[in-house]
Structure 1
Amino acid sequence: MKRQRLWFFSVLLALSFGGCTAVRPDYAARVATGTTAHDLCSETFVSGQAPDTIFAETIASRPGLDLVAPLIRYKVDRSQREVSASLAGAFTSRAVYRGTWGCTIIDDDDAASLESPQLLPPIPRVSLPLALDTSSTLSRALDDEFAEEPSTAPRRTKAVVVLYKGSLIAERYAPGYGPDTPILGFSISKSVTNALVGVLVREGKLSVDTPVQLDNGSNEAIPLSDFMRMTSGLDIDETGSGFDPSNRVMYVQTRDMAAAARRARVIAAPGQRWAYSSASVHLVARMVRDAVGGDAVDVQRFAHDALFAPLGMRHATMEMDATGTPIGAHYMLASARDWGRFGELYLNDGVTPNGQRILPEDWVRWSTTPTLATNYGAGWWTNRHSGTGDGHPDGMPLMPDAPADTFYALGNLGQYIIVVPSKQLVIVRLGNAQTPHFDIDGADRLVKQVIGALPGPSS
């Protein structure tokens, strides 16, 4: 079977080299090499993980990429602080590590023009209140979360943090990970982009009704909210196939992702059609960058001063494309405790632990109100559907054992920030799962077990 897969892909490569543009397998090839180069760069130089382990756990075993993994060759150059990856010796992608700004995919023309990172003031260490629970019930919940079942796909849990009423009541880490390890958030980065927009809305510098100008010849301008809710109507859907428009924006048209998304054709009226799309959030991130000054230094300083520092997120890294636009859909890293602090911001309606409001009143409600017939809000998933719209509900499966008011940030391979307002609870789960629907069954079980372990009448 594997030989057949390799033969099939070799035929596709031949079609590409032969000039066939109907299939465009070079898009899928670039997605494979771009994903490999960027992910390995981030997790090697920012997270401090072993590249061979990361490749095996997150690339070679990921559905779709597993088909071409035997053809992928990668090189980690620690002296130059970069990672390159190719497919059958072609379609090379290159990602460079830029210190506090993380990694960026570049081509040779970008290398000389990239801005140099500027150091920002260190964020003071503010300890989380501790109320560690050593009960056997909670310990079993963590045991189950880190356990592997031979009969199922691997879950590879790397970190779990549980915050109850603002206090850290439980945490556990896999070998090689700890409280200070920055971990790639994948699409939980979208929730951070939502927060950056929220700060700007509160400051009066941006509105969810702000029109986003397109560059596709349509002369249309679509409200920012439609990109946040993934209802823009543009042809930028994400399927994970390697051929889809959203992945093409992220790994083929890498230099200026927002500009590539602006050129997408209109296929539906704004607000009428929902389709998951990371490319939508690249446009949102560009709006953030432009609203705070327009370059990499400005946007990094803004995220540091307006969000990371007030929350005490000392290990947050926000990666960018070559234009200085955050890759706000996918490439933010932070420690499990940092992700927990971020979840607390939304549990507390946009107010920091010291009482500072940084998100507008009602922002959390708006962000966690389901869109059309889905259970997706704006950068956050909900544990309920809106009940509106035609056809069957779309989005993620619900968690039957979690309260209906639960909402969560979700990233590829099972990254979760789960917020349960009725229980004053935030649960962070990070890992490299290959189980269905990003291991949502495991997340549901973890929520149920943690709630069952809570003390007193609050449980």
Structure 2
Amino acid sequence: MKSILLTLMGLALFTNCSPNEQVPAEITPETMYFPPIGSNTWETKDFQSLHWNPAAQQPLLDYLALKHSKSFMILINGRIVMEAYFNGHSAASNWYWASAGKTLTSTMTGIAQQEGLLNINDKVSAYLNTGWTSAPLAKENLITCKNLLSMNSGLNDALGDDVSAANLQYTADAGTRWAYHNVYVKLQDVVAVASGQSYTAYFNAKLRDKIGMNGLWVPNGDLSVYWSDTRSMARFGLLMLNKGKWQNTTILNENYFTEATNTSQAINQSYGYLWWLNGKSSYHLPQSQLQFNGSIIPSGPNDMFMALGKNDQKIYVVPSKKMVVIRMGDAADAANLALSDFDDVLWQKINALYQ
């Protein structure tokens, strides 16, 4: 049996809009809302006032339940339009972000840079010393923090999740090959060294506590995986919808935000700084050197940027619609990749709410 807690809200923002249309200037949405720090209260919007299609609601919920979801949220301008929990999961339950949490590491790197603690154009060995890989020294010294953010370090991505020096082996010069690789986690070590404190302490002080998230980093082999409740994931999505500001407080400066959520290198058009980008002309996928033409999620908005994690952990941010969408749960299908057909079908069903 699924248990569903559902809040239905809205404003007449998306009437007659296709998924890739910009919101017309004459219907500028109301002021963005930010839930208070230290409180579980959250403003909502009445679903009916959105002029969305009520008949599309239940098919979306049924699909989410069928695909092993634990939670789902839609925010418009920061206000909860839809919130649903399944199979015993609740608003108080924590779940893992998997690789969707890479975007937290991207954000923390940007925060450390704006505080003058590091520069993403510096070589990684300037912070971790030489020998952090097993690549020849001259090749290791080509790898910058920006290469780790952009997934073009040139290190071998076929050796598993182990990020010990012995397992970080040279394949190509940094910047010449895009490959999805857990070596990005070395940025957490860079931030820790640069800040003079543990990565967790810096993260909590500079991001988590400032926007009212809960959650913690849980060790998982060589990596740490972030766990939180669904609303904490939504708070982070809302921060990014507002270009790194929480209300009028800058958490992440807009210049870095813009770099992070746009194409970061020439090989994979659909990748920023640990963020996936929709609506580009081509894309690459993990564990592949093939280039695919078109948008990653054809049914999704073209301006959407995304945090995508194993077993279909999702943060979708859609600036043109002032929208944040969250999905947590088990793998939708047998494949456990960060991206699957689930994304495209899910967006078809979300689109049906307002088309």
Rounded Cα–Cα distance in structure 2 between residues aligned with 1:313 and 1:262: 36
Q: Any idea what SS the aligned residue of 2:113 has?
A: helix
Q: Any idea what SS the aligned residue of 1:158 has?
A: strand
* 1:206 matched to 2:136: no
Q: Is the 8 A contact 1:407 1:420 kept in 2?
A: yes
Structure 1 stretches of at least 4 aligned residues deviating more than 4 Å after TM superposition: 386-389, 394-397, 435-439
Rounded Cα–Cα distance in structure 1 between residues aligned with 2:87 and 2:167: 44
Pair 1:397–1:361, CA change in 2 (3 A): closer
User: Aligned match of 1:125 in 35, 39, 56?
Assistant: 39
Q: CA RMSD in A?
A: 2.7
Rounded Cα–Cα distance in structure 1 between residues aligned with 2:119 and 2:274: 16
Rounded Cα–Cα distance in structure 1 between residues aligned with 2:293 and 2:271: 7
Pair 1:396–1:218, CA change in 2 (3 A): farther
User: For residue 36 of structure 1, what is the aligned residue in structure 2?
Assistant: none
CA-CA distance at 1:272 after TM superposition: 0.7
Bigger share in helix = 1
Rounded Cα–Cα distance in structure 2 between residues aligned with 1:261 and 1:386: 35
Pair 1:261–1:452, CA change in 2 (3 A): farther
Unaligned runs of 5+ in 2: 1-36
Q: What is the TM-score when the length of structure 1 is the normalising length?
A: 0.59
Pair 1:306–1:299, CA change in 2 (3 A): same
* 1:379 matched to 2:274: yes
Pair 1:435–1:423, CA change in 2 (3 A): farther
User: Aligned match of 2:231 in 337, 349, 357?
Assistant: 337
Q: Is the 8 A contact 1:373 1:385 kept in 2?
A: no
Rounded Cα–Cα distance in structure 2 between residues aligned with 1:378 and 1:192: 10
CA-CA distance at 1:394 after TM superposition: 5.4
User: For residue 276 of structure 1, what is the aligned residue in structure 2?
Assistant: 180
Higher relative contact order (CA 8 A, sep 6+): 2
User: For residue 257 of structure 2, what is the aligned residue in structure 1?
Assistant: 364
Unaligned runs of 5+ in 1: 1-122, 149-154, 238-243, 250-256
Q: Any idea what SS the aligned residue of 2:320 has?
A: helix
User: Aligned match of 2:137 in 203, 212, 218?
Assistant: 218
Rounded Cα–Cα distance in structure 2 between residues aligned with 1:396 and 1:335: 33
Q: Any idea what SS the aligned residue of 2:267 has?
A: coil
User: For residue 20 of structure 2, what is the aligned residue in structure 1?
Assistant: none
Q: Any idea what SS the aligned residue of 1:245 has?
A: coil
Q: Any idea what SS the aligned residue of 2:203 has?
A: helix
CA-CA distance at 1:231 after TM superposition: 0.4
Q: What is the TM-score when the length of structure 2 is the normalising length?
A: 0.76
User: Kindly, what percent of the aligned residue pairs are identical?
Assistant: 26
User: Aligned match of 1:424 in 322, 336, 351?
Assistant: 322
Rounded Cα–Cα distance in structure 2 between residues aligned with 1:126 and 1:306: 20
Number of aligned residue pairs: give it.
298
After TM superposition, list the pairs within 5 Å mapping 1:11-160 onto structure 2.
124-133=38-47, 136-137=54-55, 139-148=57-66, 155-160=67-72
After TM superposition, list the pairs within 5 Å mapping 1:302-451 onto structure 2.
302-314=202-214, 316-320=215-219, 327=223, 331-352=225-246, 354-370=247-263, 371-374=265-268, 375-385=270-280, 393=291, 398-433=296-331, 434-436=333-335, 438=338, 440-451=340-351
Structure showing greater Rg: 1
Q: Any idea what SS the aligned residue of 1:246 has?
A: coil
CA-CA distance at 1:126 after TM superposition: 4.8
